[in-house]
């Protein structure tokens, strides 16, 4: 069962998403003494991460007990304009008191297979887990082709059942990526898609209301085993889903 949160405009979408994240953090810190989150990349989260760096939100999260991962990364150096890490650093890490040892970067500059293996081992070390660990919150975007993280239509990563993090060459993007797999994402306590703008309206309908075809619509793979699935969207993205 997924929870659809529709925000009337961009400002309330950004505020509402930051509020959702802060509430997840407070709950995790209260219940378990730490907050583990995986960030999504792309453009949608930029203002949300910047909002978390504002004093109002920054003071609500205990960054010393917050561990920040990435759900995927482009295989580029960390200072490359395409890097999801760079985007998060520019919007959040450079503006909040987050201990550097609490930020777990996917080494996009390394060989993709090695970077994926090293990242999976880092997750195992932090969670001391042998089966997919439960992140408190995994943020995801949804591409206009239905991909999420770097789980793109027709790729082998969609069918990964045991690995938590894999490398994937994405033909349509002519680039390598490193991505969380569906088994790891679906182990999370909370998964929240962030989608905004009219450009996502049809795909949101396809994913939520259309036939189940995860090889074409990888976002449909995301069905948390025990956790909660949330969609945080603005009215423009929700237009078609709300129409029926
Ligand atoms: C990435 C993201 C990717 C993104 C979607 C949506 O590395 O690009 O993880 O899954 O979330 O493509 O991107 P926008 O937010 O830019 O629409």
Q: Which CATH number goes with the domain that contains 73?
A: 3.40.50.1360
- 62 Cα: distance to centroid of ligand 1 (angstroms): 27
pLDDT digits (tens, 9 = 90+) for 20-76: 999 999 999 999 999 999 999 999 999 999 999 999 999 999 999 999 999 999 999
- 33 Cα: distance to centroid of ligand 1 (angstroms): 30
Residue 243 lies in a domain: no
Check pocket membership of 42 for ligand 1, CB cut-off 6 A: yes
Residue 154 lies in a domain: yes
In degrees to the nearest 10, what's the CA dihedral of 227, 23, 47, 206?
30
Helices (H), the chain: 10-32, 46-52, 55-58, 84-91, 112-127, 182-185, 201-209, 239-243
pLDDT value of residue 1: 58
CA distance 106 to 15: 27
Check pocket membership of 72 for ligand 1, CB cut-off 6 A: yes
Grade residue 243 by pLDDT with cuts at 50, 70 and 90.
confident
pLDDT digits (tens, 9 = 90+) for 125-147: 999 999 999 999 999 999 999 99
Tell which residue, 194, 127, 136, 189, has the closest CA to residue 164.
Answer: 127
By most ligand atoms within 8 Å of CB, the mutation choice from 46, 142, 191 for ligand 1 is 142
User: What does DSSP say about strands 66-70 and 137-141: parallel, antiparallel, or unpaired?
Assistant: unpaired
Residue 83 lies in a domain: yes
pTM of the model: 0.98
Q: Which atom of ligand 1 is nearest to the CA of 194?
A: 15
Residue 128 lies in a domain: yes
Six-digit token pair at 12? 């309330």
Residue 115 lies in a domain: yes
What separation in angstroms does the CA of 171 have from each of 71, 152, 168, 175, 213? 20, 9, 9, 7, 20
pLDDT value of residue 110: 98
Tell which residue, 93, 51, 54, 47, has the closest CA to residue 70.
Answer: 93
pLDDT digits (tens, 9 = 90+) for 152-208: 999 999 999 999 999 999 999 999 999 999 999 999 999 999 999 999 999 999 999
- 147 Cα: distance to centroid of ligand 1 (angstroms): 8
Q: Which atom of ligand 1 is nearest to the CA of 177?
A: 7
Report the chain's mean pLDDT, rounded to a whole number: 97
Residue 6 lies in a domain: yes
Residue 224 lies in a domain: no
Residue 221 lies in a domain: no
Domain total of the chain: 1
Grade residue 117 by pLDDT with cuts at 50, 70 and 90.
very high
All residues at 6 or more sequence positions from 239 whose CB lies less than 8 Å from its CB, including other chains: 198, 201
Cβ-based neighbour number of residue 207 at 10 Å: 25
pLDDT value of residue 2: 75
Q: Give the structural domain span for 150.
A: 2-215+229-235
Task: Determine what percent of the chain is predicted with pLDDT higher than 90.
Answer: 98
In which element (H, E) is residue 110 found?
none
For residue 151, list its beta bridge partners: 148
């Amino acid at each position: 069962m997924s929870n659809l949160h529709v925000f009337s405009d961009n400002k309330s979408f950004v505020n509402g998403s930051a509020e959702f994240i802060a509430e997840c953090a407070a709950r995790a810190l209260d219940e378990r003494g730490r907050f583990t989150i995986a960030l999504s990349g792309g453009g949608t989260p930029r203002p949300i991460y910047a909002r978390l760096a504002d004093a109002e939100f920054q003071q609500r999260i205990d960054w010393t007990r917050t561990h920040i991962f990435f759900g995927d990364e482009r295989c580029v150096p960390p200072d490359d304009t395409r890097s999801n890490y760079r985007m998060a650093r520019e919007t959040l890490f450079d503006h909040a008191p987050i201990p550097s040892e609490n930020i777990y970067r996917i080494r996009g500059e390394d060989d993709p297979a090695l970077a994926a293996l090293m990242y999976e081992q880092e997750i195992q070390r932090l969670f001391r887990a042998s089966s997919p660990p439960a992140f408190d919150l995994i943020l995801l975007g949804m591409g206009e082709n239905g991909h999420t993280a770097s789980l793109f239509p027709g790729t082998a990563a969609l069918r990964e059942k045991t690995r938590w993090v894999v490398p994937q060459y994405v033909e349509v993007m002519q680039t390598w990526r490193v991505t969380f797999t569906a088994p790891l994402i679906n182990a999370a306590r909370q998964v929240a898609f962030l989608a905004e703008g009219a450009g996502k309206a049809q795909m949101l309908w396809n994913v939520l209301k259309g036939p189940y075809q995860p090889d074409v619509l990888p976002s449909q793979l995301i069905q948390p085993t025990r956790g909660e699935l949330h969609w945080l969207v603005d009215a423009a993205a929700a237009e078609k889903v709300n129409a029926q």
